[in-house]
Structure 1
Amino acid sequence: MAEMIGPRLYSCCNCRNQIALHDDVISKSFQGRNGRAILFSHAMNIMIGPKEDRQLMTGLHTVADVYCCDCREVLGWKYERAFEETQKYKEGKFILEKSKIVIENW
């Protein structure tokens, strides 16, 4: 039956562009700029902005904002570099804010 419905995924709340698969969720216990956020291993149909150093709750990171490639909505950011050893697992991963994405095919 799941094959008939398709994969569980997350889409842009603004235009419903498919952004990430449920199977790529690493953690749902992250904080974004505007509230709760989800850490993903991969994201699709996005554009990545310029890199910048940003002081976050867990220390200094180099991040790049992530935008929907259809409507240009800011969805979160990509961790490019973590300066603290304990945060290195985030490098190359994506934070998507719960307020900016919707769940599809559940």
Structure 2
Amino acid sequence: MSAVQNSVNFTMGVLEERMMLSGLHTVADIFCCCCGQIIGWKYESAHEKSQKYKEGKFVLERGRIVDEIDFSTEFYIDTRASMSDGED
């Protein structure tokens, strides 16, 4: 089962062709389930061979997911899998 199927905090939009800085890609925007705002995108497929490593990867835009970042302090996101409150 993929991470997307297990996630409950975002939804994916429709696939579309988008010209990115690194070339043409098929991507889907991802949206916050709480507020509905775009928080980033998922690379579904890359049209250039050198960009294939991006397929299936997600990009989260920090400015869209964290309010009032104080860049003078260290910022850390724990990316390890953990139990949710419902699994306690």
TM-score by length of 2: 0.65
Q: How does 1:61-100 map to 2 (within 5 A)?
A: 61-100=25-64
Q: Which blocks of at least 5 consecutive residues in structure 1 are unaligned?
A: 1-41
* Letter of the structure 2 residue corresponding to residue 90 of structure 1: K
Which structure has the highest helix share of the two? Answer: 2
What CA distance in whole angstroms lies between the structure 2 residues aligned with 1:56 and 1:105?
26
Are the structure 2 counterparts of residues 83 and 105 from structure 1 closer, same or farther at C-alpha, using a change threshold of 3 Å? Answer: closer
Q: Where do 1:1-106 residues align within 5 Å?
A: 44=7, 45-102=9-66
Identity %, equivalent residues: 51
Please tell me the root mean square deviation across aligned C-alpha atoms, in Å: 2.1
Name the count of aligned residue pairs.
65
Over 3 Å off, 4+ runs: 103-106
Compare relative contact order (CA 8 Å, sep 6+) and give the higher one, 1 or 2. Answer: 1
Q: Gapped runs of 5+ residues in structure 2?
A: 67-74, 79-88
TM-score normalised by length of structure 1: 0.55
- Alignment partner, residue 84 of structure 2: none
